[in-house]
Structure 1
Amino acid sequence: MSAPTEEIRTAEARPAPPPPGAGDRKSLRRATHVFRPRRVLPATIVAIVLAVVAGLVALEVIGGLFGSPPGLLPVERLSALGRETRWNDSLPFAVCGLAVLLGLLLVFLALKPGRPRAVVLASADPQVVMGIESAGMSRHLARAAESVPGVSSAQVAVSARRVRVVASSSLRDTVGLDEQVRTAVSERVDELAPMAGRPNVRVTVRRRQD
């Protein structure tokens, strides 16, 4: 069981000027597009569903041409439904509306991929794209916070605009420790040089009670 902690001090950094090479919107968009994960799972599901439906239809058509349809699809029932249904009935409108919504959803998923899993880093060469995974950056900054004397452990959460650091210390007097941690983490962020500029660094120091 971990020892109880008491939150005693919080420090928040002001955004610093962007590092050299940062702030280039065109390069940032290009790099973000490179590191943005693709919608592999939805695309795979749609491809499998379409392949299965196309295969079933092909089997029914081929079987019907040879006079022995496999009966995998309710062809007769669908044919009767098509003959009996009028264009001004509610069923065609509902089916068409559902198809349109499904198509718009697929288009949205295709044009709006998932959130990037990497932080884009600045580069002097616009043709060079660099990045570090958010989890790796969190561990990297946590080690920087733990290098400060008096800090026993640290947890870091990284987002595009903010770095949240929670440091634990067993010291009785932790005055100024939050600023030291903030400085150490900010310097490590500057070394990485995020293309979007230094995120807002917020530090909370908790005193461990043994």
Structure 2
Amino acid sequence: MLLCKGNSTCANDVGNKFLYARLHCDSVSCMINQGQSIIRYTSSKYANIIKTFGYVINDFSPVVGSGAIFKEASHIPQGITYKQILSMSSKLKSRLGEISDDILVQGSRAAGTAKITSDIDIAVRVSPTQFQKLVKEYFGSPNVGSAKERTMLHAIKTGKIQSGEARLSPLRKELERDLNMPVDISIIQKGGAFDKPPYIDIK
């Protein structure tokens, strides 16, 4: 197996996963979903022997039929189908475009280390100036010592506004129904504590 560069342990391990995918998938979206999980699993466990991502296309070409299609797997969060990412992208862009078009998936779903119960972390990234404007818009001037003020100060300190404060709860719940998994949407400040990879851009 070219992906494993001749390493027999890797080849046997990954080969079994490819075989499982071929036997159980009946659509391109399923293959893409399984394939991106295999890529991330192999990249993590056998990082020292992998040469390029492109070799995976050779292993899947009999089923997928197009390297260009399969390359999309690298832009799909773990556990999400190609159809779901297209729908999610459309909703996020249409509903969040006025805030920012810099929308990312972070955390375990981007890293490929998610568990079945893991949520998908969606970050709307804005400049420090825009972040300050949004804090003022969402929190106003809360009473000193109030719970709202404490929440505001925490948002400023961490560079993150949660979905509730950002009035994104309806969208979050809608995506949870679409994806059948917990969803977290937050606005993060560029360069802040939560602005860290791995990222998958929502295009």
Q: Which has the higher contact order (CA 8 A, sep 6+)?
A: 1
Could you state the TM-score of these two structures normalised by the residue count of structure 1? Answer: 0.30
Could you state the TM-score of these two structures normalised by the residue count of structure 2? Answer: 0.31
Structure with higher Rg: it is: 1
Counting strand residues as a fraction of each chain, which structure ranks higher?
Answer: 1
